[in-house]
Amino acid sequence: MGGFCGEKEALETAANRVLRQSTGLKDIFLEQVQAFSVPDRDPAARVISVPFYALIRIDKHDAGKVDEMGATWCSLDEVPELIFDHSEIVEKAKERLQMKASLELVGKELLPDEFTLTQLRRLYEAIYQRELDPGNFRKKVLGLNVLERLNTKNTEESKKGAFNYRFRPNSDELNGHERIIKI
């Protein structure tokens, strides 16, 4: 969804407002992608776009608001044809999220408070749009020391059950220049 920034409104405020109007959600993780300013990107007028991407749990949005705005959810591999340079904007947003995911654990907003390593890996597979080796992912993520293993198990994925994890406090950023997923 898109919208315009008010004359006395910060970009971040406008992005949050448009997201709230479109989905009914507030206090959502948003990150600016980049400015798109080629003079003829919109044939009707000179338009500079500063898009943001958001991490949203689809099960938490207001379906009525989304319908009211004429929006629909779609998989990244099923994005319909978009106008102007909006396909490029989507691609740049995806690249930005993938880069962020390689530098820090992302997606806390998309996981339950307690999750399995399989759930975390599936999130990363969705971000990178490819399968990741389960053993390598487990080794890399646990080696970062940003997760805490709990004494509870999730038995939905296997009979034996998988241990639940949660993010350690202050685990938002990795120390040094380690990468989670080398791409």
Q: What is the pLDDT of residue 103?
A: 85
Q: What is the pLDDT of residue 34?
A: 96
Tokens representing residue 126 in the block: 């969705």
pLDDT below 70 — which residues of the chain?
1, 171-183
Task: List Cβ<8 Å contacts ≥24 apart for 72-79.
Answer: 76/129, 77/129
10 Rama sector, left if φ>0, alpha if ψ -120 to 50, beta otherwise: beta
Q: Which of 170, 174, 152 is nearest to 161 (CA)?
A: 152
Residue type, 62: D
Measure Cα distances from 47 to 28, 71, 115, 157 in Å. Answer: 26, 22, 42, 48
105-183: CATH class:
mainly alpha
DSSP structural state of residue 164 = E
40 alpha-carbon distance from chain centroid: 29
Residue type, 18: V
Q: What is the pLDDT of residue 172?
A: 57
Q: Where in the chain is the domain with CATH 1.10.10.10?
A: 105-183
Q: What is the pLDDT of residue 158?
A: 78
Topology (CATH level 3) of domain 1-103: Nucleoside Triphosphate Pyrophosphohydrolase (3.90.79)
Q: What is the pLDDT of residue 121?
A: 96
Q: What is the pLDDT of residue 85?
A: 95
Q: What is the pLDDT of residue 181?
A: 58
Q: What is the pLDDT of residue 120?
A: 95
Global pTM reads 0.83
Q: What is the pLDDT of residue 183?
A: 43
Q: Where in the chain is the domain with CATH 3.90.79.10?
A: 1-103
